[in-house]
Amino acid sequence: MKKEPMSTRKKAVALNYVKGQDQAPYVSAKGEGNVAKKIIDKAREADIPVQKDPGLVSMLSGLDLNEMIPPELYGAVAEIFSYIYRIDEKNK
């Protein structure tokens, strides 16, 4: 089995946010290669929108599981949650 070079391996980070709580979103799953593919597949199976943003994934993948996103990423993550909200509203 041929291994992908580390620089070209697919990465994925899943964020979770508890609506109504005064906390920032947190990293609920992350991985590379086959793990990333499974995260993306699970999201799609659950009709959770998947946003492709390699730069943001790179920054988020440095966080630990269950770690809240730092304030400097609030703007970028807010855009993603806004995108998801718009999709949800459109599909109702």
Per-residue pLDDT tens digits for 15-53: 998 888 878 999 999 999 999 999 999 999 998 888 889
Q: Please state which of the ranges 5-14, 23-32, 33-42, 64-73 shows the lowest mean pLDDT.
A: 5-14
Q: What are the structural domains, with CATH classification, of the chain?
A: 6-91 (3.40.1690.10)
Higher-scoring residue by pLDDT: 3, 22: 22
Non-local (6+) Cβ contacts of 25 within 8 A are 15, 16, 17, 68, 69, 77, 81
